[in-house]
Amino acid sequence: MKTVAVCLVVFGVLLAIASSTGDARRGRGAFEQTCTGCHALDRAKVGPRLRHIYGQPAGKDSQFGYSDAMKGASVTWDDATLDRWLADTESVIPGNDMAFRLDDASKRADIIAYLKALSGK
């Protein structure tokens, strides 16, 4: 009985890890499909450059003209803040100019894994 309980706990933990960890390779495809209309990795477009965004404070691309909301933000981009940002930007930086949201949590995790891999962190 005890073994069964331990197995169930281990299985639950593995499941939680699997669902919260993104896949950078899938993330690259998802990024190209959903983000590159507005973002490029190495040049400002409708939105700022994103190659080194993971681990950086928000609103610091010198080539990009941010909204006042974004300039005044004190957020650092990590797994948690990026996930909330992509799900609902207003909940992270109210009044920002990024008119986009990604409802699919596993796609968000994949894209975040891709941005993390690009940043080398």
Binding site for ligand HEC (CB under 6 A): 34-35, 37-39, 46-48, 50, 53, 58-59, 61, 66-67, 69-70, 77, 85-86, 96-100, 102, 111
Selection from 78, 79, 75, 105 nearest residue 90 by Cα: 75
CB of 16 to ligand HEC, least distance (A): 23
Q: In this complex, which beta carbon is closest to ligand HEC, that of residue 13 or of residue 64?
A: 64
Contact 99, 12 (CB under 8 A): no
For helices 105-119 and 79-87, what crossing angle results, to 10°? 140
Query: For residues 12 and 55, which CB has a smaller minimum distance to ligand HEC in the complex?
Result: 55
Angle at which helices 105-119 and 24-34 cross, to 10°: 110
- Taking the complex as a whole, the smallest distance from the CB of residue 21 to ligand HEC amounts, in Å, to 17
The residue (of 100 and 106) whose beta carbon lies closer to ligand HEC is: 100
Question: For residue 76, what are the β-bridge partners?
Answer: 57
Task: Quote the least distance from Cβ 1 to ligand HEC, whole Å.
Answer: 46
Residues 6+ away with beta carbon under 8 Å from 77: 53, 54, 55, 56, 57, 58, 85, 115
CB of 97 to ligand HEC, least distance (A): 4
Residue number, 39 or 116, with CB nearest to ligand HEC: 39
